[in-house]
Structures are given as C-alpha cells and as structure tokens.
Amino acid sequence: MSLLAVEKLDARHGLLRAVRDVSFEVAEGETLALVGANGAGKSTLLRTIAGAHRPAAGRVLFDGAEITSSRAFKRVRMGIALVPEGRRLFTGLTVEENLRLAGKGGRKGPWNVDSVLDAFPLLGPLRKTRAGNLSGGQQQATAIARALMTNPRLLLLDEASLGLAPVAVEAVYESLRALIESGATIVLVEQDLSRALSVATRVCCMLEGQIVLTGRAEEMTREQVVQAYFGLGPERQSEGTAE
C-alpha cells in the first residue's frame, strides 16, 4: 500500500485552476521530485496535500485513509509535515525555540532537538541565534529541522534551493541526502533539475497544473525532463513510457 495517494486532484485560486486532475502515489521510503516551471502548480499541490489549501475536487489518502477534508493540524499529527516556500520561521525566536515550538504539535518519535541538530550540524553553534539573523541556507536548514521535530512519516519540501547561494544549497542537500538514506519519505518540489534528479527515486514533471511526465529517476534523461518542463514533448507520458 502506498503511504500517499493523490487521486484526480483539482485545486483553484479563484477562477484559476492551478492543479488539474492530478494523480500519483508515493511509497514509504521513496523520494518523489516534483519539477516544473514557475506557475506549474507544484506549490499549490504540496499545500493541498498538507491541508493548507482546500481542493476543488479529488481525494488525498494517507496510509490508506482518506484525509481530503482533514484540517492541516490533524495531518501534522498523522505524520505529514510541510516545509513551505519562503521558510516562514518565527524570526524573533531562536533556532532552538523554533524547533521546540514545532515539536509540541507533532507525533512521538525519534526526532528531538538533539537528534535534529545532529542531523544538521551547521545549526548546532546557532541554536541560540534568532532565526531572523540567519543566512538563507541556515534558515532553510532550520525550516527542514523544524518539520522533522513533528516526527513526520511524510516530509513535503517546497523549493529547497530557491534563492540560496551554491554553498548553501550544497549544505542543505547534504543533510537532505542523509535523511533519504535514513529511509525518510519525501516529496520534493525543486526547480533545479540536476539537484532533483540526483536525490529522487521518481520524478513527476508538471506543466500548467498537470503531470505531463512521470518515471523512475534513473530511467529518465535530463533532456526528457527538460522537454516536458517546457512543454516540448508529448502532451502526456505515463510511467514507464518516458522514452
């Protein structure tokens, strides 16, 4: 059974149909990369899965149970954590205070302040630093660490590298690879195709609110993904037919 199943999901912003008839599944321990240009619907899709955006149609199932109408805080308690675009940290609080606050609303599990800081060694010396005084890379690491404090079964990570310097991106992805190796289940929204393909088990490319290409990362070439990214390939390709 898949950990996450999305079935014929539609999501709107007013009259704009941002997500159109999207279906996919994510197995436990899998890393799915959602790629696509700005405005493709990736962030709206992630927010809808997390319960931060109400769907217009379709279903979301988590561990076999339908959660389409569940509130966002209930999904956190079920084991779904969202790292939103823009991080949205409490900038007046320290790194440690951000982590402890997140831990109060989550599940019981192995992640606590000490284990999270072990996973993100760059944050250890900064635990008493206010989040607003951190660099972009440090804030992104804090945002991911904060999500882990809820002990999620599914981590939804929106735009991991957006706006970061290359050295900061490398530090964030080094920690992300460690999470993947530990067996974490991740849905990653990423515009950097090389980064996405380097960590993903599977890739879904979105265009104008729809998934137009999906397949296992090792079976797909960068050229195939780029064609789908810009709408240059076949209108819709299904898994296993990404030639």
Report the percent of the chain where pLDDT is more than 70: 95
Q: What is the pLDDT of residues 48-63, one digit of tens each?
A: 999 999 999 999 999 9
- Number of C-beta neighbours around residue 154 at 10 A: 22
Kindly indicate the confidence band of residue 233, based on its pLDDT and cuts at 50, 70 and 90.
Answer: low
Give the pair of three-digit tokens for residue 149: 């404090």
Q: What is the mean pLDDT of the chain?
A: 89
DSSP letter at 241?
Answer: -
Q: What are phi and psi of 138, to 5 degrees?
A: -65, -40
Q: What pLDDT was estimated at residue 234?
A: 52
Q: What pLDDT was estimated at residue 87?
A: 76
Nearest Cα to Cα of residue 157 among 197, 124, 178, 185: 185
pLDDT at 236 over 70: no
Q: What pLDDT was estimated at residue 57?
A: 97
Q: What is the pLDDT of residues 74-103, one digit of tens each?
A: 999 999 999 988 778 999 999 999 999 998
Q: Rounded to an integer, what distance in angstroms lies between the CA atom of residue 164 and that of residue 33? A: 19
Q: What pLDDT was estimated at residue 47?
A: 96
Q: What pLDDT was estimated at residue 181?
A: 87
Q: What pLDDT was estimated at residue 235?
A: 46
The residue extents of the domains of the chain are 4-229
Reported pTM: 0.88
The class of domain 4-229 in CATH terms is: alpha beta
Kindly indicate the confidence band of residue 237, based on its pLDDT and cuts at 50, 70 and 90.
Answer: very low
Q: Rounded to an integer, what distance in angstroms lies between the CA atom of residue 138 and that of residue 33? A: 22
Burial class (CB in 10 A: 0-12, 13-18, 19+), 80: buried
Q: What is the pLDDT of residues 96-130, one digit of tens each?
A: 999 999 988 788 889 999 999 988 888 999 999 99
Q: Which residue has the higher pLDDT, 108 or 3?
A: 3
Q: Rounded to an integer, what distance in angstroms lies between the CA atom of residue 203 and that of residue 139? A: 26
Q: What pLDDT was estimated at residue 50?
A: 97
| Of the candidate ranges 123-132, 198-207, 223-232, the one whose mean pLDDT is the lowest | 223-232
Nearest Cα to Cα of residue 206 among 44, 29, 16, 1: 44
What is each CA distance from 58 to 79, 155, 214, 243, in whole angstroms? 21, 21, 19, 29
Kindly indicate the confidence band of residue 238, based on its pLDDT and cuts at 50, 70 and 90.
Answer: very low
DSSP letter at 114?
Answer: H
Kindly indicate the confidence band of residue 179, based on its pLDDT and cuts at 50, 70 and 90.
Answer: confident
